[in-house]
Amino acid sequence: MKTNLARFSIGVLALSSLAHAAPFLAIGDSAELFVTGTVGVRADDNIFLQKSGSSDTIFDLTPGLDLTFGKDGQIKGDLTLAEAFSTYADNSNLNTNLFSGNFNAGFDDGKMKLSLTTGFNESNQNTVDNRGLTRRDAFSIGAKGEVEVSEKTSVGAGITATHTNYKRSGYADSDDYTVPINFFYKWTPKVDLSVGYQYRSYQTQIGQDSTDQFFNVGARGEFTPKLNGQFNVGITTRKLNGGGDDSMLGLSANLNYAFTEKTSLQVTASNSADTSPQGAQQKNFSLGGTVTAAISDQWSLRGGLSYRGIDYGTRTDDYVEGTLGASYVLNTYLNFSGTYTYRNNSSVISSGEFTNNVFSISANLRY
């Protein structure tokens, strides 16, 4: 425990001293290299997300680098690299160091938009689908583009591929391929209507491979002076390689409403088919809202609540997650944050139920 506290204290002192160092390293005229870092501590009362929880205190240290380029050009991009060290006070066998690297690049000349993303991320965090600190690696790559066809119309398309490799038995490695195509019509100067189609192929080592098709209509843009975002609604069909077809309402939405200049609400919603890491078929309905408020130039508050209904065919689990947090900006390079997270999963299966409370504080640097 003393060693963990010492590491945490050293990390905080290092961030404090670096906050007054040179803000960045310029590479040529349009590229900048930033040093990033996070030092944090978490109090978690259910580290494995089980019905009977085991608690622990976790110390986090995440040094990294962030390279940005093309600040004033049509081609812009960003490369981030980080190594996350997590040290458990009571369960040292759970200590990990996890690498993440992500690259994003985009081109925009006003009539054509292109983007490329790729990343490799090691993780050991819990989710409602990955419990017990399940180690996994995910590699993803994707590209998308949109081109203006006429003054009022444009067409967009893309492709994304993700390979997930699990390091724990009972969880399935998977390959996920998604291809969306959308046609946009400028209904007003600020709102586009759309007609779209999305193809998805999911291949898994446990359970059945599946093919999804999402036929949809939607809209995007600034709907009112205070409301903007995008939504798509339609029909999703799923075909399993072992036989069987199903259809459901498909939904994807992300909307932002500005109550005031400093207070806003973000609402997300989705309804889609999926496959769990254990190979079980799912229908997922999700609805969430997050309120953020800037109470001063330095202080901001946020609160969020989300619900996910997970339909397994023979049962439906209800997962609820809530967060409360505050952030304090010391200067351009250094900020502090504190967050409380509540998680609860209700299920007719006793082993599927859990409740989780996590309190965390962190110092975050970028210079």
Task: Give residue 279's pLDDT.
Answer: 93
In a domain, residue 204? The reply is yes
Decide if pLDDT at 186 tops 90. yes
Mean pLDDT of the chain: 93
Top-confidence range, 3-7, 63-67, 68-72? 63-67
Instruction: Give 110's pLDDT tier (boundaries 50, 70, 90).
Output: confident
Task: Give residue 20's pLDDT.
Answer: 46
In a domain, residue 348? The reply is yes
Task: Give residue 114's pLDDT.
Answer: 98
Decide if pLDDT at 220 tops 50. yes
The number of distinct structural domains making up the chain is 1
CB 120 within 8 A of CB 136: no
Nearest alpha carbon to residue 64 among 19, 26, 98:
98
Task: Give residue 1's pLDDT.
Answer: 52
pLDDT in tens, 200-211: 999 999 999 999
Q: Which domain holds residue 361?
A: 43-58+95-366
In a domain, residue 30? The reply is no
Task: Give residue 278's pLDDT.
Answer: 93
Instruction: Give 342's pLDDT tier (boundaries 50, 70, 90).
Output: very high
pLDDT in tens, 232-287: 999 999 999 988 899 999 999 999 999 999 999 999 999 999 999 999 999 999 99
Please count the other Cβ atoms lying within 10 Å of the Cβ belonging to residue 277.
22
* CATH code: domain of residue 173: 2.40.160
CB 281 within 8 A of CB 275: yes
Instruction: Give 334's pLDDT tier (boundaries 50, 70, 90).
Output: very high
Decide if pLDDT at 14 tops 60. no
CB 126 within 8 A of CB 133: yes
CB 302 within 8 A of CB 291: yes
In a domain, residue 75? The reply is no
Q: Which one has a higher pLDDT value, 22 or 98?
A: 98
Task: Give residue 98's pLDDT.
Answer: 98
Instruction: Give 313's pLDDT tier (boundaries 50, 70, 90).
Output: very high
In a domain, residue 104? The reply is yes
The whole model's pTM is what? 0.90
In a domain, residue 49? The reply is yes
Task: Give residue 307's pLDDT.
Answer: 98
In a domain, residue 342? The reply is yes
Instruction: Give 27's pLDDT tier (boundaries 50, 70, 90).
Output: confident
Residues 81-90: what's their mean pLDDT? 98
Task: Give residue 24's pLDDT.
Answer: 61
Instruction: Give 23's pLDDT tier (boundaries 50, 70, 90).
Output: very low
Instruction: Give 42's pLDDT tier (boundaries 50, 70, 90).
Output: very high
| 128-133 long-range contacts, CB within 8 A, separation 24+ | 128/49, 128/308, 128/310, 128/317, 128/319, 128/343, 128/345, 129/276, 129/277, 130/171, 130/277, 131/48, 131/49, 131/50, 131/354, 132/48, 132/49, 132/50, 132/168, 133/47, 133/48, 133/94
In a domain, residue 27? The reply is no
Decide if pLDDT at 353 tops 70. yes
Q: What does DSSP say about strands 299-311 and 316-329: parallel, antiparallel, or unpaired?
A: antiparallel
pLDDT in tens, 128-180: 999 889 999 999 999 999 999 999 999 999 999 999 999 998 999 999 999 99
Q: Which one has a higher pLDDT value, 12 or 348?
A: 348
% of the chain with per-residue pLDDT over 90: 86
Task: Give residue 277's pLDDT.
Answer: 94
